[in-house]
């Protein structure tokens, strides 16, 4: 299988293509599963081999996290008034989203939505410097229960002073 440009697909895409084909065949009442049934084991082994070869060639290595914005990119956002501490609702919402994402690692809309005021505490360190501490509630990664996976550190956002402190 090759993409439109004649290049190999990424290893993970092979699995997605086969799953989509299997779903299509199931919708057309095909009695077997090309993913699960024994009749298709040899084709599954061929695809697994292809995926291994692609990974050996360095394909499929994508970073697990987003890159940080550069100073220049942040400056563009500021100049376009995407952030700020004025009373403009959109500016305030953007700024709060940015701060919570950058300092507390909130990833998706649901984590922002589930956050409660009680999750935040205004504290001071031993030198009297103020910071906001975030005590994380239940998340997709940390769901609670008997084997709760806690962070190794408390999430804190320090103030440095100045107009751009929140940015």
Q: What is the pLDDT of residues 88-144, one digit of tens each?
A: 777 888 888 888 887 887 777 888 888 888 888 898 888 888 888 888 665 555 554
Residue 134: its pLDDT value, please? 85
Domain co-membership, 124 together with 152: yes
Q: Using one digit for the tens of pLDDT, what is the confidence trace for 48-90?
A: 888 888 888 877 766 555 677 788 988 888 788 777 766 677 7
Answer whether residue 1 is part of any domain.
no
Question: Do 96 and 144 belong together in one domain?
Answer: yes
Structural domain for 79, as ranges: 73-158
Same domain for 153 and 121, yes or no, is yes
Helix (H, G, I), strand (E, B) or coil at 70: coil
Looking at the structure, tell me whether residues 39 and 81 fall in a common domain. no
Supply the pLDDT for residue 23.
94
- The domain tally of the chain equals 2
CA atoms within 13 A on the CB side of 147: 1
Together in a domain, 87 and 139: yes
Q: Is residue 111 part of a domain?
A: yes
Closest CA to 157 of 123, 128, 127: 123
Can you give the pTM of this predicted structure? 0.44
**Rounded Cα gap, residues 167 and 159, in angstroms:** 11
Is 6 among the domain residues?
A: no
Same domain, 106 and 140: yes
Write the DSSP symbol of residue 121.
Answer: E
Which tens digits make up the pLDDT trace of 11-48? 888 888 889 999 999 999 999 999 999 999 998 889 88
pLDDT of residue 167: 46
């Amino acid at each position: 299988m090759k993409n439109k440009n004649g290049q190999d697909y990424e290893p993970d895409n092979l699995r997605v293509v086969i799953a989509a084909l299997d779903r299509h065949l199931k919708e057309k009442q095909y009695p077997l599963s090309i993913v699960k049934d024994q009749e298709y084991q040899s084709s599954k082994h061929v695809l697994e081999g292809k995926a291994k070869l692609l990974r050996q060639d360095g394909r499929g290595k994508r970073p697990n996290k987003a890159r940080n914005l550069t100073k220049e990119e942040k400056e563009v956002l500021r100049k376009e008034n995407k952030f700020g501490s004025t009373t403009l609702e959109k500016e305030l919402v953007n700024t709060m989203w940015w701060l919570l994402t950058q300092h507390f690692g909130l990833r998706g809309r649901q984590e922002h939505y589930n956050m409660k005021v009680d999750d935040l505490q205004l504290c001071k360190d031993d030198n009297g410097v103020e910071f906001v501490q975030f005590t994380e509630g239940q998340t997709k990664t940390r769901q609670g229960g008997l084997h709760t996976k806690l962070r190794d550190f408390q999430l804190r956002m320090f103030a440095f002073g100045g107009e751009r402190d929140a940015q």
